Structure 1
Amino acid sequence: MTLNRPRITARRVAAVAASAALVATGVAGLGPASAAPVEDAPAAASNGNDRTVAHDKAARQLTLTDGDLRMVVDYAGAARVTSFTQGGVELLADGMYSTAEIAGSGAVLDSRTLAADPTVKVRGKKVDLTFEMANDELAIDETWSFSLSKGDIDLDVDRTYDWAGDAAPSLAHNGQLEIGWARVWDNIRRPGDGGNIPIGNTYAGTDGFYLNEPNDRYGVEQSAFVMLANEGERALAVDATSADRDLATEFAYGGDNTYQQTQVRDDGEWEYIVGTKEQGFVYSGHSSNGTDRYIYLPVASADRTDSVSFSFATADFDAYYDLGGRINGIADTAALTSLLNDFGRSGVVDEEYGMSTVGLRYLGNGPYDLAHSNPTVMGYFDPAMTESQKGMLEYFRDYAQGANGHMFGRTYRLSNPWGDNNLHDADPAYAAAIAEMYDYSPDSEWLASMRDSAHRAIGYMLEERYDAPTGMFHNGITDCNSRRGIMEWNDAFYVKWQSGYVNELMYHALTKWATLERDVFGDTDRATHYADTASALKEQFNKDAADGGLWDPEMGSFAFWRCPDGTVQASVKHTQLNLQAIAFGMVDIDRARAILDDLDVEMKKNRLPMVPMNFYPILPNTEEWSGDHFQSGLEDGPIYPFMTELYMKAAAFVGERDRSLEYLDATLERYTRDGFVGWSFLDWSLEPRFGEEWFPTNANAAGGVYTAMLGIQPQPDGVQIAPNFPAAMNGTTVTRTIHENDELTVTYHSVLDQTVDYSAKDQTVVMEWSGQQPGAKYTVREGKRTHEVTADESGIVRYALEGRVKKTRVTLVDGSIEGHVLTTDVPENLAVGAPTMVSSSWEEDRFLQPGVTDGSRFSTDPSMGWSSDSELAVDHSEWVTIDLGSTARVARVDLLPRNYDGRDIGRGFPVDFTIETSVDGETWMPAAAETGFSQPTGFDVPTWSFEPRDARYVRVTGTSLRQTDGGYRMQLAEIEVFGR
């Protein structure tokens, strides 16, 4: 459902006035005590300059005002904040209070119900509130110290424990504090790791993402957050610190509340109820995954004092949605910033735990996913996120690598801990990710700590999975007669022997590490070995299938895998495989251009706004996978939005300027419908087809704007800028953080003309312009100076600026601004959506009369096409007539056979038939006639061309039919009509 709600914007000239939220009352908290009534928000906001403490002793109530923040504290038999407003908007539904749950008995102490009133001291703009919570096992003396200071409301919580002599000093849960936020927030940002917990957003609606179902709970090993609300563009920084205690925070769903609970412990690592690091569970997401249990194991709490300081301050909303400047040409920048900053950041698990590809609620990830999660991180230029991703790589190094060097592929729940598996994409994905992270954060000491592990992962593949005669890597399947192979997560293919995807990742890993071994570690022998292996792999990979490679000249693309007997399988125009070959530099410029040209043809023929995983179904004798249904199941043709970014990378190499922006706009438009909630991919109708986890990597297209289109790519010794975009984006200016703290600002006057301002000293800025003539000479103007440069064999011109680069304008003076222009010429199908008349129609099993002109060129789950009825047991005639709506010039008719998932291809295709046209629907003119036509068995589309003529109606009549399902039927997936 599309929700008509105000959209957020990156910048607004005037802030939208915030409306007061409805405050729920009587909601049960996490302890046994019922919630206290919540007081009404004030009628008007503060003038922004107030800083006062009002004490109503009769009502036992304190009111603290600091700027636009206002807290009401009730101490009548309780210690609780009953109201907290920002600009007049009530932020609490269940108040703010303290709890402590004792591990053994489960008893809960709760400051909302006290045996005696707290003691109150007011000293100017400071307030102390002292009270006791006690039962037979534990007495807690606690003091809340409020202070108003420079726009903040600060609250220090000091707690002393006094355990009974026979009580075990252990807390199952330490709610110091517990905050029952009203459902007024859309996102919870974590500056410590760059992550985001999306509760709901403009596109998905309230409660659209996470913490929206009973028992949803999420924990992070940090305590500084920014609460964000789209409506009114409000932001509140909520920080907790402790001088001598480690802090963590759990967020939990509570109906009308979002509970925030601060946990404390002495030292060491946090321990989790769901499992241990050795089992692979800390990384898997600090989530209770819909079960009613806490995240952290009970924490010992002997006789001592815990002190936690909280700060509440209004923050700058725009700072958390800023795109880093002005990006021109994008149809919906509000959707872009939301996709990037709400959705994409939701994959960050925690500090030092990196980016998950399956979001927050779902446990499960592994080294194989680094091929997708690393590009996500790289689109943010966020040092905190980068450091967290490096921490995840360390985690995999320590816990996810076997003794033989092979990386464990995945873990996702207690029944499936880390263990042996055969996900061979995990090894190169892991090794390449280490090298990529070094580019983004060039710490040679960190790289050295990861080096041996990367050697071992690459070494496993070289020693156990390399076939020297063919120069390519393989898995353990040697018999291609079986449909069951080894699964790899690109995505859920059961691959036999030599996978194109794994070999591409190995080429990438070997190439990256050859450079590191030579330039960083000085190991020329290893560098040469890696480079030579990569070169041999590239050569073999590009050979025609008949000559031992993976290139299928008939399909004009790479096949997915090669069997030991030399046959290639899954030659289905797999886009990730083919685009990745371009992005990794495995093909020459001519082949790269041919791949993009052919992809453009398929996109136009199928009228697709976003790139699918593959254009043809995998044949049923190729693999065995129960979910493998073309366009709608793992993994046979669906659309992953993250593919937009991979196209951007391939287009940047080729210099194709236009489609990246078109696919990005389509991705953003699709995001606005439901916020990509509750599914991982789409079918070609762009409707959700699989309610699995959401994929934060589907935000990669947003990050690709910076890395592939604007072309900002950090390097260990500086930064490379390789722009590739259409004229609509001219005038774009962005600022990004390179490495840890170097600031880069680029103004893009055009794709060939940039002004660069880089704060770093003694680093190199390399300008790169693609889409030029290979080997041709060009002029680069730097300021007032000119230099002659030569394009390489791929048509890429490079120019290096060394030393301090301060507002330097650099222009490729005589370059081609158009780059590579796609030359595809696909005629318009005049029959799409046209009404039909039929002799009969079988309206079951997803066959529908409109299905013959719905534009779906294959039989799919949503639409099998059209089938005549089958009441007659003998051969007979059936027909279908298409009304084009008005007279048009017609010269060709294509009949696309039934083809469901590569099964029953051509079933029901007529044996004898005629094709006729008419201007008035009464007088018919023959266009083609066939007798004894062979049943189609492949992907070739039967086509009939004739002299162009005027026609409004096209009729196909089957005069002799095939026996199908016990009767005689005429069946077609689609009829297409063209003017040429």
Structure 2
Amino acid sequence: MSTNKSITSLLLMLLLLISATGSKANTIADDKSISIGTPKIAITLAYGGKAQITSLSVNEQKVVSNADGVFTSVKVDGKVYSSLHLNAKPALQQSAGKTTLNGIRYGDKDLTITENWIFTKKGSDITWQVERTFSKAAKIEEAAMPVINFDNINTWEGAYQGYGGLAWFYLFNEKLCTYGVHTRSTNFWNSKTGNGLNITVNAPGKAVAMKYTRTNDDKLAYSVTVSDKQMIPKSDSGTNRRLFLRKRTDVWAPFQAPALKNSQSITFSYFDYNDKYGRGKLAGLNGAQVNAVLGTIARIGVIDSLHFGGNSWATPYGPICLHEQYIGQLGLGINDPAYLKGYESCLDFYRDHAIQPDGRVYSRWAYTNEDAAPGQFNKDGFYEAQWGILMDSNPDIVTNVAELYNMTGDKAWVKTHQASCEKALAWIMKRDGNNNGLVEMMTDSQNQKKSSDWIDIIWASYENAFVNAKLYHALVEWAVVERQLNNPEKATYYENFAAKLKASFNKPTSEGGLWDEEKQCYVHWRDKDNSIHGRNMVTPVNFMAIAYGICGDKNRTKLILDNIEAQMQREKLFFWPLAMTSYEPAEGKEYQFPFPEYENGDLFLSWGSVAVAAYASYDPTLAVKYVKNVLEQYSKDGLAYQRYGRQKQDGRGDDILSGNSLSIVGLYQAIYGINPLYNRFYLDPHITPELAGTELKYNYQGQRLTIGLDNDSYTVSNNKFKVTSPKSFGFNATANLLSYFNGNEDKAALTVTSTQSLTIKINNWSDGKIEWVQSKGAASTTPLTYRVSKLKSNENYTVAIAGKIIGKKKSDAKGELSFNRIASAASENISISHAN
């Protein structure tokens, strides 16, 4: 039977075959049904001549009510066997909270499959356990264990995978689109109904795969496959690893099933979409659009459980660019613990398979090897691009590890990446052959016509500002991690290299640097012969220089940002292009000319986060303007393109980049000021008046935080503690300990031990005077314990309540002092001042 038929078509052919052969399955009559329900999940089980779930409701919405329903099925030697056609009637048994269907047998004289189905209700969930035995070992061509045929491809908008990826049914834009993934859990959701359905598979010792198919009759067929070994793509011959197919359903290769009894269970659970994935109140912006962009576009570069990148899994050759420093940063905006955990596993895989023995990090991975330089790939699909050695993959893997660690605080995990990150940095730092702090590319001249960075058909060579800016960022980020891992010597080494790089980067081009006095911008690169190239205001280079702190000159910052904005106004562009004017003809591949064309001047949204960060502290109004522009574009076309043309600002390219969401990620990080760090949640807002009144919900290291953003008043709270401050601060809380960090300091300035809920409003925190107002949730005789840090060592301080001195304390050698206080439920003003 042809593999390009839908499951429905296969079953119709099977029915014809059964009718022609006079199978006993056709003589079984008296089908019955029984309802099994909880407050949120309800199913109807039919049995007799078949075993099938004919109806599934989620929060009283029927999501399965079609003839195909839910059943189990396998295909062996071209034959399809399913629980829709049984060899004998199964036996039903019921007890409190449990329904069992025993003796489900289907197959023929060549192969018989025997199953027992046990349904158990627990709270609002239903667990369906399947015990299965094959009469003999068999090579399974396709398996549905089970298949759930949802009524329509639009029943759900998408399904979030257990590792944080997304099966987005918007991209299933024709019949028989099929997408396969390796996961044990999926969350189907619909933002319009607010309903969500979690399906979790428990199969100890087994591998689990899932696939999603738009059927010929526009249903959504969701199939689970359980096997002894991990499922591999059917087309995998060592050069093709494709997981998304068009006009086919056979994404998985055949696998061997032994003649042994095995068991698996599937749990159906309801969740409220807004409770689980809602983002709160976004004043001044369309919150639904923000949520949609971060919930869909931002996730589509996650191809599978071990493959996170920026290019959609629907792309024909599915590339992942390891030379993208913002994949971890996407997690800040996505804000799903599953994404962060999944990306940890992905980076483990990259550490073990994408880093070569000498420390060089392969720049890409893809479904196929068609984009690889001849012979420059490995068996796991990682490769060097045909365009050149794209050297930014080395700093970028380090940046992604460091930023993911900040979000999770998982020191044990980041420790496992210490050696590999040091190795990756060592490889690229050795490229500073002339000892000026700027590392050199593998090519010396544009005439070699090879690229060296993300802008991969522009011939950037020798001392490349794009790569060096990324390296600076990686060194600064990783130095912090090295200190956390008790390696201050290595941290200092990276900091010193970064300082040297920064100094040379900022020198005028006439003095060996990268600042162009005439063009008033940082250039893209310098060739070994000292010729200067990319003088055309390459925006990622200049935005990174500002956002990453390389450019510390306020006048330069103003020149760059004002000049860019002036041209944006003249051309009325909705987003920043890769370059404001044209490269020279010899600086890039021929078809990049005449300007503007593709990487020579088109609009790539992937650089939105660094652009927003560059403008946020200079003029947040401009940053917010472009965030709104991107949201407006989303309302028109869903950002469903690789890039936008310069002249018509029309969508171009057959891929959707997850980077199209990055200006919205920038909104979260640079405008809202959300910066999760390894030991604190750091809030550093740059909001505009129209955004005042924003109240965000945010997941941070196992807690659900509420972030309030108002004019000069910022708040972070969990379900017990709350801190408000007129300026940036850090927050951390455990069961009975609240920690306040002053500004971006990495050590808590104040800790309070309390068994009661507690609110603290910081009024002043300076060397001379510390003052806060606090209130408790209820009166208690249990004292609060305070520890104040970052004071002068061995100095006297007075502690006052409502202006009345209650005692004097001397700080210790570390500049810390402690005191206890039995506080009332009413507000109290506490101050600590240096005693004269």
Structure with the higher fraction of residues in helix conformation: 2
Tell me the SS of whatever aligns to 2:72. strand
Question: Partner of 1:495 in structure 2?
Answer: 460
Question: Partner of 1:521 in structure 2?
Answer: 486
Are 1:725 and 2:680 an aligned pair? no
Are 1:683 and 2:645 an aligned pair? yes
Distance (whole Å) between structure 1 residues aligned to residue 409 and residue 513 of structure 2 = 36
Q: How many pairs align? A: 717
Matches within 5 A, 1:865-876: none
Question: Partner of 1:384 in structure 2?
Answer: 338
Of residues 560, 564, 572, the one that matches 1:607 is 572
Distance (whole Å) between structure 1 residues aligned to residue 561 and residue 384 of structure 2 = 38
Tell me the SS of whatever aligns to 2:382. coil
Of residues 262, 281, 289, the one that matches 1:335 is 289
Distance (whole Å) between structure 2 residues aligned to residue 503 and residue 784 of structure 1 = 41
Task: For residue 784 of structure 1, report the CA deviation from its aligned partner.
Answer: 4.7
Distance (whole Å) between structure 1 residues aligned to residue 498 and residue 361 of structure 2 = 20
Of residues 177, 185, 189, the one that matches 2:146 is 177
Distance (whole Å) between structure 1 residues aligned to residue 178 and residue 127 of structure 2 = 26
Tell me the SS of whatever aligns to 1:586. coil
Contact 1:632 1:682 in 2 (8 A): no
Question: Partner of 1:198 in structure 2?
Answer: 168
Matches within 5 A, 1:890-929: none
Tell me the SS of whatever aligns to 1:427. helix
Contact 2:415 2:485 in 1 (8 A): no
Contact 1:754 1:809 in 2 (8 A): no
Are 1:188 and 2:150 an aligned pair? no
Q: 1:281 to 1:517 in 2, by over 3 A?
A: farther
Question: Partner of 2:496 in structure 1?
Answer: 532
Contact 1:748 1:755 in 2 (8 A): no
Match of 1:495, as an amino acid?
A
Are 1:543 and 2:525 an aligned pair? no
Contact 2:446 2:459 in 1 (8 A): no
Question: Partner of 2:620 in structure 1?
Answer: 657
Tell me the SS of whatever aligns to 1:615. coil
Distance (whole Å) between structure 2 residues aligned to residue 659 and residue 717 of structure 1 = 32
Contact 1:655 1:724 in 2 (8 A): no
Task: For residue 517 of structure 1, report the CA deviation from its aligned partner.
Answer: 3.1
In the superposition, the TM-score normalised over structure 1's length comes to 0.67
Distance (whole Å) between structure 2 residues aligned to residue 314 and residue 754 of structure 1 = 32
Q: 1:235 to 1:730 in 2, by over 3 A?
A: same
RMSD: 3.5
Are 1:670 and 2:637 an aligned pair? no
Contact 1:100 1:173 in 2 (8 A): yes
Matches within 5 A, 1:335-354: 335-354=289-308
Task: For residue 139 of structure 1, report the CA deviation from its aligned partner.
Answer: 1.0
Question: Partner of 2:174 in structure 1?
Answer: 213
Distance (whole Å) between structure 1 residues aligned to residue 192 and residue 761 of structure 2 = 46
Q: 1:89 to 1:461 in 2, by over 3 A?
A: same
Contact 1:215 1:288 in 2 (8 A): no
Tell me the SS of whatever aligns to 1:533. helix
Contact 2:49 2:84 in 1 (8 A): yes
Question: Partner of 1:374 in structure 2?
Answer: 328
Post-superposition Cα deviations, 1:397-455, rounded to whole Å, max 9, x if no partner, equal 11111222111111323434434551111111112222222222233332222122112
Of residues 407, 431, 444, the one that matches 1:478 is 444
Matches within 5 A, 1:79-158: 79-86=51-58, 87=60, 89-93=62-66, 94-102=68-76, 105-123=77-95, 126-129=98-101, 130-158=103-131
Task: For residue 362 of structure 1, report the CA deviation from its aligned partner.
Answer: 4.6
Are 1:578 and 2:542 an aligned pair? yes
Matches within 5 A, 1:4-15: none
Distance (whole Å) between structure 1 residues aligned to residue 712 and residue 81 of structure 2 = 64
Tell me the SS of whatever aligns to 1:673. helix
Matches within 5 A, 1:485-884: 485-524=450-489, 526-588=490-552, 589-627=554-592, 630-633=595-598, 635-652=599-616, 654-677=617-640, 679-684=641-646, 687-738=649-700, 740-751=701-712, 753-754=714-715, 757=722, 758-760=732-734, 761=737, 765-767=741-743, 783-787=762-766
Question: Partner of 2:275 in structure 1?
Answer: 319
Task: For residue 764 of structure 1, report the CA deviation from its aligned partner.
Answer: 5.4
Q: 1:753 to 1:388 in 2, by over 3 A?
A: closer
Q: 1:687 to 1:157 in 2, by over 3 A?
A: farther
Distance (whole Å) between structure 2 residues aligned to residue 543 and residue 693 of structure 1 = 39
Q: Which runs of 5+ in 2 are unaligned?
A: 17-28, 373-380, 723-731, 746-759, 770-788, 792-815, 830-836
Percent of counterpart pairs with the same letter?
Answer: 21
Distance (whole Å) between structure 2 residues aligned to residue 458 and residue 328 of structure 1 = 42
Of 590-599 and 725-734, more deviation after overlay is shown by 590-599
Distance (whole Å) between structure 2 residues aligned to residue 749 and residue 78 of structure 1 = 61
Q: 1:485 to 1:642 in 2, by over 3 A?
A: closer
Higher gyration radius (CA): 1
Match of 2:226, as an amino acid?
V
Tell me the SS of whatever aligns to 1:645. helix
Of residues 391, 403, 411, the one that matches 2:357 is 403
Question: Partner of 1:449 in structure 2?
Answer: 416
Are 1:233 and 2:218 an aligned pair? no
Match of 2:609, as an amino acid?
E
Question: Partner of 1:921 in structure 2?
Answer: none
Q: 1:35 to 1:667 in 2, by over 3 A?
A: farther
Tell me the SS of whatever aligns to 2:334. coil
Q: 1:109 to 1:351 in 2, by over 3 A?
A: same
Distance (whole Å) between structure 1 residues aligned to residue 53 and residue 446 of structure 2 = 68
Q: 1:114 to 1:686 in 2, by over 3 A?
A: farther
Match of 2:660, as an amino acid?
N
Post-superposition Cα deviations, 1:468-513, rounded to whole Å, max 9, x if no partner, equal 254311212223445x122522354222222111010111122223
Distance (whole Å) between structure 2 residues aligned to residue 452 and residue 243 of structure 1 = 33
Distance (whole Å) between structure 1 residues aligned to residue 438 and residue 672 of structure 2 = 34
Task: For residue 721 of structure 1, report the CA deviation from its aligned partner.
Answer: 1.6
Task: For residue 724 of structure 1, report the CA deviation from its aligned partner.
Answer: 0.7
Tell me the SS of whatever aligns to 2:620. coil
Of 498-507 and 428-437, more deviation after overlay is shown by 428-437
Of residues 379, 393, 397, the one that matches 2:347 is 393
Distance (whole Å) between structure 2 residues aligned to residue 280 and residue 429 of structure 1 = 26
Question: Partner of 1:882 in structure 2?
Answer: none
Post-superposition Cα deviations, 1:772-791, rounded to whole Å, max 9, x if no partner, equal xxxxxxxxx9635452699x
Q: 1:85 to 1:387 in 2, by over 3 A?
A: closer
Post-superposition Cα deviations, 1:331-352, rounded to whole Å, max 9, x if no partner, equal x211111111122223333445
Distance (whole Å) between structure 2 residues aligned to residue 215 and residue 488 of structure 1 = 37
Distance (whole Å) between structure 2 residues aligned to residue 367 and residue 664 of structure 1 = 25
Distance (whole Å) between structure 1 residues aligned to residue 338 and residue 484 of structure 2 = 27
Contact 1:280 1:411 in 2 (8 A): no
Question: Partner of 1:73 in structure 2?
Answer: 45
Tell me the SS of whatever aligns to 1:692. coil
Q: 1:294 to 1:789 in 2, by over 3 A?
A: farther
In the superposition, the TM-score normalised over structure 2's length comes to 0.78
Contact 1:354 1:385 in 2 (8 A): no
Q: 1:656 to 1:226 in 2, by over 3 A?
A: same
Task: For residue 112 of structure 1, report the CA deviation from its aligned partner.
Answer: 1.9
Q: 1:194 to 1:288 in 2, by over 3 A?
A: closer
Match of 1:299, as an amino acid?
F
Contact 1:62 1:72 in 2 (8 A): yes
Question: Partner of 2:403 in structure 1?
Answer: 436
Contact 2:159 2:186 in 1 (8 A): yes
Tell me the SS of whatever aligns to 2:335. coil
Are 1:252 and 2:252 an aligned pair? no
Q: Which runs of 5+ in 1 are unaligned?
A: 1-25, 38-56, 201-208, 770-780, 791-798, 811-980
Q: 1:27 to 1:351 in 2, by over 3 A?
A: closer
Task: For residue 700 of structure 1, report the CA deviation from its aligned partner.
Answer: 1.9
Distance (whole Å) between structure 1 residues aligned to residue 421 and residue 97 of structure 2 = 57
Match of 2:141, as an amino acid?
A
